[in-house]
Structure 1
Amino acid sequence: MKRGWRFSQIVAIGILGYCSAAFTQNLTTSPLDVQSAQLGSYSSENRTANQPSTTNEALTLLLPHYHRVSGISGNLSSSGSDTLANLMTYWAEEFKRRYPNVHIQIQTAGSSTAPTALTEATAQLGPMSRQMKTKEIEAFEHEYGYPPTEIRVAIDTLAVFVHEDNPLKGLNFKQLDAIYSRTYQCGAVETITRWGQLGLTGSWQHRPIQLFGRNSVSGTYGYFKKRALCRGDFRSNVNEQPGSASVAQSVSTSLNGIGYSGIGYKTTGIRAIPIAREGNEYVEATIDNSVSGHYPLARYLYVYVNKKPNKPLAPIVQEFFRFVLSQDGQQIVQKDGYVPVPQSVVEQDLIKLGLGHNSAAN
């Protein structure tokens, strides 16, 4: 799948120090927690020619490089998120380049397949674009006696796309609820079915809204349902698509279309509309707005793994995570249109993996 979105090169990275107090690990507010001291030195005023020009670059430069170790070979299997399909493939290719005797199999049927694959031991890695549900964790715990280990590997900006010719200025959660939901959990009072109900005039006034979205096995479906619909239920006339690229493509060929997927799947013929939690204080779907917590549809992407308490991971799994959470691995995140995880998160998750504090370069 071709990813068309490219991030702006004109961000002022010093804003992260100001915004860091808003970051939490609770996905109902913001997807991450960055210490202001980590990025404070990268302000646009103080940046030199050798310093990063974007938030992404600043985040990756704070991480150590990955260094190859000897003796890594064998098979590695992954089953889960379609959203993470490209990332897992790129990571696998680079990992195999460093370790030619490693063979990696990747299946991308949707986030809901990851918990079962881990529980039934048919995969070692479980990529997910949402957190595991309580019942999924309980099923794993019933089998093993301990929970799966959750690792944050990237930050995604979930975008709402319309056709490039659509003049809509933005949407808030209440309006998204009225467009997509039949239960009105976010405060909608009636269903919105025409663009004129959103203030569009002229030839747009009576145009019907054509809905596109992901299918129910997708973590993107679950996240949008949780955040934008306040856990409400989707309307039955949403055209469910098997992948994020399909959503973007469908909107690009439908003048009346609207759809949601990761911003990295933006392609020609569509645009991401600004989103507000309420009112009309719309926020653009940009890196800085996602990292700061201002954009309301930013989220972590995860890879789950079966790690026994006080027992080391298999060497091949251990080194794969070291690579993913290194500067080299997170530069792939950046190139694929996502936001790298900050150093503080990397350090926390390396400890969860039993790999020690700041040990990605060991």
Structure 2
Amino acid sequence: MMSPLLHEHAINGLATFDSLRVNLTGSSILNSVLRAFLSTASVLAVTLVFLLHSATAAELPAYVPHQVALPTGATYWDHDAVTIVGYNDMDAIFAKLNALFVRYHPRFHFNMRLPGTAAAPAALAFGVSAFAPMGAEFSAHEAATFNAITGDAPEPFRVAHCSLDPRAKSAPIGIFVNAANPIASLTTLQVAQVFTTGQKPADITFWGQLGLPGEWSDVPIHPVGIAEEAAGGLSSFMLAKMHGLPFAPAFDGFPQSVDVIKKVSQDVAAIGFASGNSSETHVKLLKIEDRVINDDNYAYDRFLLIYVRKRPDAFVAEYLRLIFSREGQAAIASAEPHYRPLLASEVTADLSKLDELRNAKPSLSGKLPDVNQRTKPLCIMGSRDFQSLLQQVDESFAAAYRGSRPVLKLQGTAAALEGLAAGLASVAICDRAAWPLELRPFRQLQGNEPLDIRIARIGYAAANSQLPVAVYVNTINPLAGLTLLRVRQIFVRGNAEGDITNWGQLGLTGSWGYRAIHIFGLRDNGGFATATRHAHFDSLPFSRAYEPFNEPGDAAKAAAQDPFGIVLLDRMGVNTLPPEIRLLPLASGHQSPYSAAAYDDVRNGKYPLSDYLHAYINRTAGNQPDSIIAEYVRFLLSPAGQQMIAAAKRMGMVALDAREIRLEFAKLNGHGARR
């Protein structure tokens, strides 16, 4: 017999995808799935009744409520309610789960803020949210930042399988080819060999290598998919499935699944990965390891997730127990857009994990957020490298503005930006511009991007200093320097002036004149490389010859070992550079002199890749910052503040000139360009 709650969900005429089995082969497979989801309510009701009588549903534990106190001392307890911040496509699921939880625990109320996945990591790290509902896994950057803030890694729990309902924002990833392509299936190894480079035993670049005969055998494969910098986590998920190796040189990335599907429909030689609930009549989905996209254990299935801290409290544990119950999974099944319930084996595994976390000893490294930090009048977050400077600034500011002594919380630039997005930092002092991926939480949590005030230049070429963003070549390379235009023509493709691929095109002769340029840098994953590409290279895609690395040290080492190499690197210490490479002097234009980033050149704006020290602040009503926060930034721009910055020369600091200060004051006062 079904419990009354289960029967209630069944008679509502709601269903899940697991019972909508269709034969997902051939060019019409996706349309078959979509038609199935548009079936009548009566068919769906029968389907759910079948599901809830199935062995899987019967194997799930019934919910037995435990007494749990209101978490009134928790940082996520706000206005007598539990705050949950996260994924917007879980709104209907939480409406049902919260109602179910309150039925058993009537004293609880919920404050739901579901702007999107990007908002969740920061909200969890700073204790604003009880847990982090996610439509994708934490990215490597999000996980590293979470660790910097809390001292621990976040712990994921599965909530449901992703959906093939076309309305769902999270779906299993499908591998698509043009409908004219005769291939029917691939292994996961073959997928990795097609989409990435460096797989063992070899990359796959022609359709004949996948067994296609005749005219197909010599056709190059055109791999496409979601760009690594794009939001949503599809690219990160696929790269993790493909051993973390970089995309193939022939790979073209697009911002959305619909763009990938369109490209595959127009190109018979293309293969793409995209959301499996995307639809187009001229493409087809491939079987992977002889499994179709809605099979159990499909290789690229994905989950809705909830991330928690390393040791979840009593409320969080009780809420997860509800999710993993028969009633909780039925509630999820009944919520549109029909995310698929977990298997019994998955529930068992995650319940066991929950018990382990609850019974574990508290981590010595774990740091709980300060319950009173929201009430602090002025919290300055930033890099530990600036501790001595910021302490001096804060003491002087406190003396000038009595009762406004700032509180320093120095956990790094990424943590500072998340703290500002979560509303817990007043000012984020950052040693670089915010990366595109770091601005997404602001848009979701604050409704706009932060105000960016430059307060100093940072990085110059000198002993024991921090070098600025720079281009490096091997020490035996005779090239005297490059203009920024030439740098762009080397590193990205599609330049109106043409692309540069050979050292001879830069004027080198002899044995250098016919050698290809070997281009190195960091992954185009929304971080430094992506930000530089947008800021200095007209947002064009990187060259096919660009070889990306995860770590700057590895990219520098590659150029050190290759006489024909060139590498683009973020700020780094002089002493961390391999001795076999040298900073290449750069010029803003053909009429400008080359600069090797000497102190005076950086101070006078002659070095074209010069970076800044930034003060990011949130805007409030009227698009203006809070008055005391604005005063703090004005102090940094004042003669007293700039004198302190100039005195920090050994830290790589360079004070702004008078023109730059006027521009930043104009921005602060609401009259300048927003960044």
Specify which of 58, 63, 73 is matched with residue 60 of structure 2: 63
Say which SS state the counterpart of residue 59 (structure 1) adopts. Answer: helix
Cα pair distance change 1:139/1:94, threshold 3 Å: same
The 8 Å contact of residues 78 and 125 in structure 1, kept in 2 or not, is answered as: yes
**Residue equivalent to 2:175:** 160
Change (3 A) 1:76 1:248: farther
- Deviation for aligned residue 1:151: 1.8
Q: Does the alignment pair 1:284 with 2:311?
A: no
Q: In 1, are the aligned partners of 2:176 and 2:261 still within 8 Å (CA)?
A: no
- How far apart are residue 171 of structure 1 and its match? 1.9
**Partner amino acid, structure 1, of 2:60:** L
Correspondence for 1:176 among 191, 194, 214: 191
- TM-score (structure 1 length as normaliser): 0.60
In structure 1, give the amino acid aligned to 2:58: L
**In 2, Cα distance between equivalents of 1:204 and 1:107:** 47
* Aligned-pair CA distance for 1:169: 1.1
RMSD: 4.5
* Distance across 2 between alignment mates of 1:253 and 1:55: 39
Q: Secondary structure at the match of 1:296?
A: coil
Bigger relative contact order, structure 1 or 2, given CA contacts below 8 A and separation 6+? 1
| Alpha-carbon distance between aligned partners in 1 of 2:202 and 2:294, rounded to the nearest angstrom | 27
The one-letter code of the counterpart of 2:320 is: F
What SS class does the counterpart of residue 273 from structure 2 fall into? strand
Aligned counterpart, 1:327: 326
2:299 counterpart SS class: coil
Aligned partners of 1:9 and 1:53 also within 8 Å = no
Matches within 5 A, 1:1-362: 6-7=17-18, 57-66=54-63, 74-79=81-86, 86=89, 88-98=90-100, 99=102, 101-110=109-118, 114-126=120-132, 127=134, 129-130=136-137, 133=140, 139-155=145-161, 157-164=172-179, 166-181=181-196, 183-192=197-206, 198=210, 199=212, 209=222, 211-216=224-229, 217-228=231-242, 230-235=243-248, 237-242=251-256, 246=258, 250=262, 253-254=265-266, 256=268, 257-263=270-276, 265-267=277-279, 269=281, 270-276=283-289, 282-288=290-296, 290=297, 295-298=298-301, 301-306=304-309, 309=311, 312-313=313-314, 315=315, 317-318=316-317, 320-331=319-330, 334=333, 336-342=338-344, 343-352=347-356, 354=358
CA contact (8 A) 2:136 2:303 kept: yes
Q: 2:217, 2:331 → 1: CA distance?
A: 41
Report deviation, 1:225.
0.9
Alpha-carbon separation, structure 2, partners of 1:51 and 1:128: 24
Residue ranges of structure 1 left out of the alignment (5+ in a row): 12-48, 277-281, 356-362
Ranges in structure 2 where 5+ consecutive residues have no aligned partner:
1-15, 23-45, 71-79, 103-107, 163-171, 360-675
Q: Does the CA contact (< 8 Å) of 2:135 and 2:303 recur in 1?
A: no
Q: Secondary structure at the match of 2:202?
A: coil
Which amino acid in structure 2 is aligned with residue 305 of structure 1? V
| Other structure's SS at 2:114 match | strand
One-letter code aligned to 2:285: A
- Between the aligned partners of 1:211 and 1:50, the Cα distance in structure 2 is 36
Q: State how far apart, in whole Å, the 1-side matches of 2:244 and 2:322 are.
A: 35
Tell me the distance in 1 between the aligned counterparts of 2:52 and 2:226: 29
Cα shift at 1:117:
3.8
What secondary structure is seen at the aligned counterpart in 2 of 1:184?
A: coil
Equivalenced residues, count: 285
Q: Which moved more, 1:97-106 or 1:50-59?
A: 50-59
Q: 1:302 to 1:207 in 2, by over 3 A?
A: same
Q: Tell me the alpha carbon deviations over residues 171-205 of structure 1, each in whole angstroms, 9 at most, x when there is no partner.
A: 23443234322x2324334534xx56641666998
Counterparts of 1:93 and 1:150 in 2: how far apart (Å)? 21
Whole-angstrom distance in 2 between the partners of 1:338 and 1:262: 15
CA–CA distance in structure 1, aligned partners of residues 295 and 53 of structure 2:
8
The answer (yes or no) to whether the contact 1:155–1:338 under 8 Å persists in 2 is: yes
**Percent of paired sites with the same residue:** 18
Distance 2:62 2:52 in 1: 18
- Contact 1:56-1:339 within 8 A present in 2 as well: no
Distance 1:186 1:89 in 2: 42
After TM superposition, give the deviation of residue 67 of structure 1 in Å: 7.7
Q: Measured at CA, do residues 166 and 354 of structure 1 come closer, stay the same or move farther in structure 2, by a change above 3 Å?
A: same
> Quick one: distance in 1 between partners of 2:241 and 2:68?
44
Q: Normalising by the residue count of structure 2, what TM-score does the alignment of the two structures yield?
A: 0.35
- Render the CA deviation track for 1:224-273: whole Å, top value 9, x for unaligned: 11223x3210146423324xx5467546754545332454x253534421
Displacement after TM superposition at 1:170 (Å): 1.3
SS at match of 1:258: strand
The structure having more radius of gyration, on CA atoms, is 2
Range 341-350 or range 219-228, more displaced: 341-350
| SS of residue in 2 equivalent to 1:287 | coil
Contact 2:51 2:57 in 1 (8 A): no
Contact 1:209/1:258, CA 8 A, preserved across alignment: yes
Q: Structure 1 counterpart of 2:327, which letter?
A: D
Call closer, same or farther: CA 1:172–1:248 in 2, change over 3 Å: same
